[in-house]
Amino acid sequence: MSRVEKFQKVLVTGGAGFIGSNYVHYALTHHSSWEIVVLDKLTYAGNLDNLKDISDRITFVQGDIANPEDVDKAVKGVDAILNFAAESHVDRSLRDPLPFIRTNIEGTLLLLEAARKHQIKRFLHVSTDEVYGDLVGSDRHSLESDTLSPRSPYAASKAGAEHLVFSYGISYGLDVLITRGSNTYGLYQYPEKIIPLFITNALESKSLPIYGDGSAVRDYLYVEDHCSGIDTVLHAGTSGRAYNLGARMEVNGIEVAKTILGLLDRPESLMQSVSDRPGHDYRYSVDPSATEALGWQRQWDFQRGMAHTVAWYKQNSDWWQAVKDKKVFQEHYNQWYAR
Ligand SMILES: NC(=O)c1ccc[n+]([C@@H]2O[C@H](COP(=O)([O-])OP(=O)(O)OC[C@H]3O[C@@H](n4cnc5c(N)ncnc54)[C@H](O)[C@@H]3O)[C@@H](O)[C@H]2O)c1
């Protein structure tokens, strides 16, 4: 029996990036009647190959969420917006924060303005657990009611965007929601992030650069679970609320490296300690109970998610090799790890 869909036409910003492209795939499977528009600037992290197999089922618009004309054009006629578009890498924000302010804050503001003008039904903003700041030294898990305490320019820009999103709910009655997902991994992730970097370096028999003593802990969430969480919140979330998404699995950098090396049968001597990230947060961990109360459950544990992810990178070397061959990847990698 087909169910009645709440939305007909949905705008996914940042849909050529890692989580956005996975969400578009997820949405086409679970909401086959949706018309999906993807608005993406195609920065170094955006990749049309991530959408290649479904390119005839979506409308792709290359454009900038921080450009009012691009936004206005893309928002016209849609009834929901999911904002994945962002500058997303903490290390790059430490080198050059300005693009983070422009895209993550100004871009979100322009989307909110367009949502107001075009009377969008729902606006879901994809945020991060990094807005909570460091939990090191405590065994508690961040709750949505916690004070935001971002500590990197990336996290600060995401927290700034969140305040704007909530303000549009209060000031203009816009139906807004926020998800705060934990560190995510899976297919199509740009290989500057720890898991695909370690996998692809191991496949190339290169060293795995581990920050400091490798004890920093993250709550790793498989990308399909992140997408189903976003979709649950979009459909069942209470307007004006934030929702945590996490796997309830805390894993440190050494454990990530050992898991990958084990799955690829590579020696642990490939692990190499490098200068720690300045201002490194040592522990993030969210309590996802509020999202679970909406009916969401993660389906993947770390071992199964990692086995699936490693297998995908093994089978898709053309995808990541093309990304790693680019100057924009190599420049950042060489400068950052040589600092
Ligand atoms: N990756 C994670 O672990 C994680 C965890 C929690 C939350 N998030 C959030 O999820 C969202 C997606 O993250 P990701 O890892 O897929 O990022 P990503 O860097 O892989 O993709 C970002 C996408 O946004 C596009 N983009 C960047 N600036 C743009 C602009 N000005 N206009 C239009 N498009 C633009 C890029 O081209 C790219 O396709 C982000 O908002 C991020 O903050 C990520």
pLDDT at 303: 97
Report the C-alpha gap between 172 and 113 in whole angstroms: 10
Could you say which of 87, 113, 129, 225 is catalytic?
129
Report the C-alpha gap between 115 and 122 in whole angstroms: 8
| Residues 285-329 pLDDT 10s | 999 999 999 999 999 999 999 999 999 999 999 999 999 999 999
Mean residue pLDDT across the chain: 97
Report the C-alpha gap between 300 and 7 in whole angstroms: 28
Nearest ligand 1 atom to alpha carbon 65? 32
206 DSSP β-pair partners:
none
Assess whether pLDDT exceeds 80 at residue 2: no
Give the count of domains, the chain: 1
What distance in angstroms lies between residue 13's CA and the mean position of ligand 1's atoms? Answer: 9
Domain-embedded: residue 164: yes
Residue with CA nearest ligand 1 atom 7: 128
| Residues 14-32 pLDDT 10s | 999 999 999 999 999 999 9
Domain-embedded: residue 23: yes
Q: CB of 125 closer than 6 A to ligand 1?
A: no
Domain-embedded: residue 157: yes
Domain-embedded: residue 325: no
Compute how many other C-beta atoms are within 10 angstroms of the C-beta atom of residue 172. Answer: 12
Domain-embedded: residue 108: yes
What distance in angstroms lies between residue 83's CA and the mean position of ligand 1's atoms? Answer: 9
Nearest ligand 1 atom to alpha carbon 21? 16
Residue with CA nearest ligand 1 atom 21: 17
Q: CB of 17 closer than 6 A to ligand 1?
A: yes
Q: Active site includes 91?
A: no
Residue with CA nearest ligand 1 atom 36: 46
Q: CB of 85 closer than 6 A to ligand 1?
A: yes
Domain-embedded: residue 68: yes
Q: CB of 64 closer than 6 A to ligand 1?
A: yes
What distance in angstroms lies between residue 265's CA and the mean position of ligand 1's atoms? Answer: 31
Report the C-alpha gap between 283 and 217 in whole angstroms: 5
Pairing between strand 122-128 and 184-185?
Answer: unpaired
Q: Active site includes 154?
A: yes
What distance in angstroms lies between residue 74's CA and the mean position of ligand 1's atoms? Answer: 18
pLDDT at 339: 83
Residue among 12, 13, 19 whose CB has most ligand 1 atoms within 8 A, to mutate: 19
pLDDT band at 1 (very low <50, low <70, confident <90, very high): very low
pLDDT at 267: 98
What distance in angstroms lies between residue 278's CA and the mean position of ligand 1's atoms? Answer: 22
Q: CB of 86 closer than 6 A to ligand 1?
A: yes
Tokens matching residue 181: 């997902």
- Full domain range(s) for residue 73: 3-185+222-245
CATH of the domain at 141: 3.40.50.720
| Residues 233-248 pLDDT 10s | 999 999 999 999 999 9
Assess whether pLDDT exceeds 80 at residue 140: yes
Report the C-alpha gap between 237 and 17 in whole angstroms: 24
Q: Active site includes 129?
A: yes
Domain-embedded: residue 306: no
Answer yes or no: pTM beyond 0.95. Answer: yes
Name the residue among 99, 42, 305 with its Cα closest to residue 196: 305
Could you say which of 23, 26, 132, 154 is catalytic?
154
Could you say which of 87, 106, 130, 281 is catalytic?
130
What distance in angstroms lies between residue 94's CA and the mean position of ligand 1's atoms? Answer: 17
Domain-embedded: residue 213: no
pLDDT at 4: 85
